């Protein structure tokens, strides 16, 4: 369920699942059980969790809070005690050798026979921490903001698992169960993530803001696709500047009115809402402190698609009902690395990056072609282009030239030599993508016909996403590749082969195929043969297939960092 849910929102963090049981009555040799048993988590690491939980409970920020209603107070204390136990379990697991480098999410327990059972999932912390998230927790009463969409999904996964533990009998058919449950998990998690954010930083009554955004993004206005900018915050925010105020405020629940108001917004002037009422049009002043995290940008990018972000970091994207973690347009580091590797020493990556960012901020797609021999190409394509006096384009000029069809032709230093360029190129069976549009495929064909190491095509879609052609493999260290092969060999040569660990390590090495030498490819194949033999000797009735790697030549030197 966790794997399906995370992959559905675009997160790949190698989730693992555990069940942890604490015996509550009777005696046995297993007062603490952990399943599955092949994860190297030993019950011994959890023996002090109750003492740790008691300490967390004593230092809880709500320790002095008292309810006058006895039943409510007792329920609150019980929930707080369980919250502290969950935190103590997570701390114990993450500090163990088996849990090194992983983050743990622990669900509320359910009684299964004589055990109190906690469902647990963990993720690779390095992958998780690279994902966009808020830096702080913010509270309003007992409501606390959730740091990210992926965090909300993780919490909803273990919450759903806790509920499933209440089943007297499991589902009759498990084949579709993870897929079906995962979609419900994502929707509940996204609703919770956004509704708490709105309640703390906007209006407590803004519980329907997500539904309102879905409706306004899907609704055209006089035949035009919805596009617009919104700022989500409290009306009294000190860094707000209003250009126009509605009297009385409009309601986000009236989708037609909301859509009409959205038509008035622009990149420089946004609708201001607290998630319930729309107060007017305005902007955030430069005095806004991003560290406060109390004003959010909501952008409708295309028909049925909208996104919420903070300080240019996308937090959640909804694409015609499908909830996703927004993909970064492209990181500055990836762009600069690609530009240097493709264009050589004459490139001015900072200037090119500025041009790319400027093009992506326009509300229509475009294409930039950076060529080592841009002047020669401009002369060759002059019949299907508009040549200009070479210059670096200002923001206004860039907005003007991206509004017409055709590509912008640049030198590696960012100087523009032609606009409205209709690119040529020859189609081929392995060139292009039928699922993409004409702009993307024309860029791919042109780049394929050009000198591979002398031409970079930057394709900006209407929603601001950026594709680079060519898309170069990331660079790695040779020692990283060798270490992956060695770890696979160690798993294959173990006395008692852990087939799940061996399979994961084999998948890792296979994913590094472009970086393998022929000798490393042969070592991979030999390790897979040993694993298959061990599986047969174990009495397994299932034969697990694997693909033999055929690595014929050494990898290109450009794929590797210096050690």
Predicted confidence (pLDDT) per residue in 386-431, tens digit: 999 999 988 888 888 888 888 999 999 999 999 999 988 776 666 7
Domain at 209-324, CATH class: alpha beta
For the residues 499-513, what does the mean pLDDT come to? 86
The set of long-range contacts for 522-525, using a CB threshold of 8 Å and a minimum separation of 24, is 522/551, 523/485, 523/488, 523/489, 524/485, 524/488, 524/549, 525/549
Q: d(Cα 391, Cα 397) in Å, to the nearest integer?
A: 10
Cβ atoms of 230 and 299 closer than 8 Å: yes
Structure confidence by residue, pLDDT tens digits, 131-154: 999 999 998 877 899 999 999 999
User: Is pLDDT at 250 greater than 70 in this prediction?
Assistant: yes
pTM of the model: 0.69
Measured distance CA(229)–CA(298) in Å, rounded: 6
Q: Is the pLDDT of residue 350 over 80?
A: yes
Q: Please state whether beta strands 115-124 and 139-140 pair in parallel, antiparallel, or not at all (unpaired).
A: unpaired
Model confidence at 540: pLDDT above 60: no
Q: How far apart are CA 295 and CA 311, in angstroms?
A: 9
Cβ contacts of 483 within 8 Å, gap of 6 or more: none
State which fold the 332-469 domain adopts: YojJ-like (1 (3.40.1700)
How high is the pLDDT of residue 451?
58
Answer yes or no: is pLDDT of 543 > 90: no
Q: Which helix (H) or strand (E) holds 457?
A: strand 455-460
């Amino acid at each position: 369920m966790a794997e399906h849910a995370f992959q559905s929102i675009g997160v790949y963090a190698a989730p693992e699942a555990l069940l942890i049981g604490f015996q509550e009555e009777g005696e046995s040799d297993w007062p603490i059980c952990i399943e599955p048993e092949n994860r190297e988590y030993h019950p011994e690491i959890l023996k002090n969790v109750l003492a740790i939980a008691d300490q967390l409970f004593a230092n809880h920020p709500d320790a002095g809070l008292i309810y006058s209603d006895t039943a409510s107070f007792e329920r609150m204390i019980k929930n707080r005690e369980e919250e502290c136990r969950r935190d103590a379990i997570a701390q114990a697991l993450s500090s163990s050798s088996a849990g090194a480098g992983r983050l743990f999410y622990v669900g509320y327990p359910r009684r299964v026979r004589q055990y109190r059972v906690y469902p647990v999932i963990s993720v690779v912390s390095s992958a998780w921490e690279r994902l966009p998230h808020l830096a702080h927790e913010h509270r309003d009463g007992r409501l606390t903001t959730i740091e990210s969409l992926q965090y909300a999904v993780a919490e909803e996964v273990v919450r759903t698992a806790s509920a499933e533990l209440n089943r007297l009998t499991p589902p009759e058919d498990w084949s579709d169960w993870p897929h079906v449950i995962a979609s419900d998990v994502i929707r509940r998690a996204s609703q919770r993530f956004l509704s708490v954010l709105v309640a703390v930083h906007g209006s407590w009554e803004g519980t329907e803001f997500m539904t309102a955004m879905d409706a306004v993004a899907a609704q055209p206005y006089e035949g035009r696709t919805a596009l617009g900018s919104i700022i989500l915050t409290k009306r009294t925010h000190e860094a707000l500047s209003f250009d126009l105020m509605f009297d009385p405020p409009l309601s986000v629940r009236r989708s037609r009115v909301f859509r009409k108001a959205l038509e008035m917004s622009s990149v420089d002037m946004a609708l201001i809402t607290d998630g319930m009422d729309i107060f007017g049009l305005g902007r955030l002043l430069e005095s806004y402190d991003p560290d406060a995290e109390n004003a959010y940008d909501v952008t409708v990018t295309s028909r049925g698609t909208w996104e919420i972000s903070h300080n240019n970091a996308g937090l959640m994207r909804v694409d015609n009902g499908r909830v996703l973690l927004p993909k970064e347009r492209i990181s500055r580091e990836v762009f600069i690395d690609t530009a240097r590797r493709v264009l050589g020493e004459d490139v001015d990556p900072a200037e090119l990056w500025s041009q790319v960012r400027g093009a992506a901020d326009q509300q229509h797609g475009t294409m930039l072609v950076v060529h080592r021999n841009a002047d020669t190409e401009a002369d060759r394509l002059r019949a299907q282009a508009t040549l200009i006096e070479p210059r670096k384009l200002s923001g206004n000029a860039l907005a003007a030239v991206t509004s017409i069809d055709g590509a912008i032709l640049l030198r590696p230093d960012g100087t523009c030599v032609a606009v409205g360029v209709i690119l040529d190129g020859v189609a081929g069976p392995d060139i292009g993508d039928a699922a993409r549009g004409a702009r993307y495929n024309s860029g791919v064909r042109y780049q394929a016909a050009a000198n591979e190491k002398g031409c970079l095509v930057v394709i900006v879609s209407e929603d601001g996403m950026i594709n680079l052609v060519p898309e170069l493999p990331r660079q790695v260290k040779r020692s990283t590749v060798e270490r992956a092969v060695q770890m696979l060999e160690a798993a294959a040569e173990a006395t008692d082969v852990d087939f799940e660990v061996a399979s994961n390590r084999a998948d890792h090495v296979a994913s590094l195929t472009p970086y393998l030498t022929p000798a490393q490819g042969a070592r991979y194949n030999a390790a897979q043969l040993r694993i298959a033999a061990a599986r047969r000797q174990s009495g397994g009735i299932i034969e697990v297939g694997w693909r033999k790697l055929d690595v014929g030549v050494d990898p290109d030197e450009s794929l590797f960092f210096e050690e």
